[in-house]
Amino acid sequence: MDSFLAALWVGPAGRVVGVDMTPEMLERSRELAARLGLTNIEFREGFIEEPPIEDGWADVVISNGVFNLCPDKLGVYRQVHRVLRPGGRMTVADICVETPVPEEAMRDIDLWTG
């Protein structure tokens, strides 16, 4: 969904690349892009630990619930640095915790959703 919003924000002159590791998500995304008539967006198969994006290509890197799924955070951030142009930006909307979450909080869905 974030890729589609980004495609609207950058407009016809911009470009958006969505990366996902699952063929199912890629297929759904490509179908939706075609139905919406968005021509400035493409989806590539790959892991964000090694994203199929050229060095210095991106103005902005967005993660909404993906970086937090990757055990090697430092490796992911190195890749973000690699694909961003100098002065580019990163926006992360993931839930990250630095200390163990109590079991009671883990079970309270209201604490995990907006």
Ligand X SMILES: C[S@@+](CC[C@H](N)C(=O)[O-])C[C@H]1O[C@@H](n2cnc3c(N)ncnc32)[C@H](O)[C@@H]1O
* Closest CB to ligand X among residues 35, 104: 35
- Burial pattern 81-98, b for ≥16 Cβ within 10 A else e, equals eebbeeeeeeebeeeeee
Rounded distance between C-alpha atoms, residue 109 and residue 79, angstroms:
32
Residue 21: both structure tokens together:
């590791």
Q: At what angle do helices 23-36 and 2-10 cross, to 10 degrees?
A: 40
Name the one range near ligand X by CB under 6 A: 34-42, 59-67, 79-87, 98-106.
59-67
Q: Is 40 in the site for ligand X (CB under 6 A)?
A: no
Structure tokens at 4: 């589609």
User: Should residue 61 be labelled a site residue for ligand X when binding is judged by CB under 6 A?
Assistant: no
Among 10, 64, 77, 82, binds ligand X (CB under 6 A): 64
Which residue in 47, 55, 91, 101 binds ligand X (CB under 6 A)? 47
Q: Kindly state whether residue 2 participates in binding ligand X, applying the rule CB under 6 A.
A: yes
Task: By CB under 6 A, name the binding residues for ligand X.
Answer: 1-2, 19-22, 25, 47-49, 64-66, 69-70
